[in-house]
Chains A and B, each alone.
Chain A
């Protein structure tokens, strides 16, 4: 994926050299090789211990406990149930709803939020007074915590005296129920997600756009291409790697969505905004069905993994190809 940085080859060369040269130099003295290994172990150990103990092991344990009926209290699980939790899960309407809500939010992000971010990034890339200021503004929500965002929009989209309904009323329109209505809750949630995250995508697109050499768009203009054609046939294809990354991050983000939903609706009304993480949390920490909740964790893990691998394999392949050939050339 490193092809997407501006100078893919430049940063690799010295590194490859370093990798090749570092060892012979240090291995000059007798026992140098052993000393090298000890150094490697010492430097790597803290990270490895922390990572294995607190990331890898818990994920493996989640796989283990997902095959038990377990309350999470009083000693390790004993009541082995095989894949029962999973069959229950996929027969459960709430969980199927979670999958559906995730799909809806992903679709909305890709169809509405990302094009909006791309448009804004291209506008900001042009001569525009106050460009730096706008960039600062668009990105500001991204650094606010989900908790603050969630509480702020609970107030703004409140059905009785929230700002949004006051504005609608100002234009003579009826107010909406927003988070309180099953038919609007996902849209309202998406509105909040757009407010919070689209600035991040703007920033990525801006960085990608600035990596496109000026000569290319200029050449197209000199050849008589209209603004739209320059965008369609020069800018957009060259932004391909950036767009694919931004889609990837949106999808992974949607699979994991928890904070906003938990604070604003807790998944309601009647599960209509519930996500996988919310269902998992509800069963794991409120209903003490840790085995069943672990099964949800496992499914989240597998969906993320399969998606990431498939995406790398099929969508990002072109972007990675350049990187691997560069590496091969230098070996």
Chain B
């Protein structure tokens, strides 16, 4: 932003300096991109080509690795499971959090700070701390090999971040608006549903994107809950596929490249919400 006027350092000629800085960025970008590119191109090779011709383009191109995955029912099944679990988790966590955040932001009552601190403290605790009792609990309620065995704990662990972010947005909405609504005969629920939520749409979008990504990438919980391959999600499927085809590097590469596409596509569409949400979450967490 501040560099618009030109280079700041007069010691090194501006051109040269700009060039060397650009070179640094370029090298780091290569560090990020080369593994991904290796995956994409490697998927079009066969395993022999991968060792004899690691850097060049595939020759010949072997599309079978990709087409095999696309034709396989299990890949689509995992995609469907991941999608279903992500959507339901997001609806639950955002809905429940919005209600709680509304109360934390707009009501004064005894114990408010304590309850809010309780939720906020949840920000730093991972599944790992609770996974054993959680597993026993889910087993007791018969929620193993059941999508809600993943959805409900995910939603619960997503509450702290979502509540903290939404509360900040809800507080920023002027109090006059609520008074006006109340004078016009709008109850608390009416205000929440018809005024607050529509006004907080950007914030809702942000926390929803975060919830989708967290659910999509979750590994530990599906790992212990889903024994039945019919319920495997994409991360679980990727890990198991590697286990089954350990020596066929090219096929594994094709599988993970295809598994990346939904996440990267989602990133392309929701980039601004995702980055805005993560920075907001980090600053407030």
Contacts and interface: CB of A to CB of B under 8 A. Distances in A.
Nearest to A191: B31
B174 A40 contact: no
Contacts of B275: 139, 203
B86 to A, nearest CB: 12
B74 interface: no
Given A2-B283, A200-B278, A43 B102 contact: yes
B33 A137 contact: yes
Interface string B253-285: 100100110011011000100110011101111
Interface residues of A, number: 115
Interface string B232-265: 0011101100100000010011001001100110
A193 B125 CA distance: 20
Contacts of B54: 161, 163, 166
Contacts of A26: 182, 188
Interface string A274-308: 00110011001100001001100110110011001
A290 B163 contact: no
Contact of B126 (A144, A256, A293): A256
Contact of B219 (A128, A139, A145): A145
A301 B168 CA distance: 27
A61 B136 CA distance: 10
B152 A54 contact: yes
B132 A19 contact: no
A25 B107 CA distance: 12
Interface string B8-39: 11010000001001101100110111111011
Nearest to A216: B2
Contact of B96 (A47, A119, A199, A230): A47
Given A285-B224, A297-B129, A297-B132, A146 B219 contact: yes
Interface in B36-63: 36, 38-39, 42, 50-51, 54-55
Contacts of B168: 2, 11
Contacts of B6: 127
A145 B28 contact: no
B157 A55 contact: yes
Given A43-B103, A50-B159, A58-B133, A25 B179 contact: yes
Contact of A20 (B8, B99, B108): B108
Interface stretch (A89-97, A98-106, A147-155, A171-179): A147-155
A50 B32 contact: no
A245 interface: yes
A258 B99 contact: no
Contacts of B4: 127
Contacts of B136: 61, 72, 290
Contacts of A125: 1-3
Nearest to A38: B188
B199 interface: no
A56 B118 CA distance: 9
Contacts of A40: 103, 107, 109
Given A44-B103, A226-B11, A227-B9, A15 B172 contact: yes
Contact of B122 (A20, A46, A55, A203): A55
Nearest to A224: B10
Interface in A23-43: 23, 25-26, 36-37, 39-40, 43
A258 to B, nearest CB: 6
B85 to A, nearest CB: 13
B69 interface: no
Interface string A258-284: 110011000000000000110011001
A258 B129 CA distance: 11
B252 A217 contact: no
Contacts of B285: 1, 245, 249
B175 A22 contact: yes
Interface in B205-244: 213, 216-217, 219-220, 224, 234-236, 238-239, 242
A134 B2 contact: no
A151 B234 CA distance: 12
Contacts of A204: 278-279, 282-283
Given A143-B264, A207-B279, A256-B128, A22 B235 contact: no
B1 A214 contact: yes
Contacts of B50: 161
B153 interface: yes
B71 interface: no
B28 A218 contact: no
Contacts of A136: 271
A80 to B, nearest CB: 17
Interface of B: 1-4, 6, 8-9, 11, 18, 21-22, 24-25, 28-29, 31-36, 38-39, 42, 50-51, 54-55, 92, 96-97, 99-100, 102-103, 105-109, 115, 118-119, 122, 124-126, 128-137, 152-153, 155-157, 159, 163, 168, 171-175, 178-179, 182, 188-189, 192, 213, 216-217, 219-220, 224, 234-236, 238-239, 242, 249, 252-253, 256, 259-260, 263-264, 266-267, 271, 274-275, 278-280, 282-285
22 contacts: A4-B283, A5-B283, A18-B105, A18-B174, A39-B107, A39-B189, A40-B107, A44-B115, A46-B99, A47-B99, A55-B130, A127-B6, A127-B18, A138-B32, A147-B236, A148-B260, A166-B51, A203-B275, A214-B1, A218-B2, A301-B129, A305-B124
Given A39-B107, A128-B25, A139-B275, 5 more contacts: A5-B284, A47-B96, A148-B259, A258-B128, A297-B132
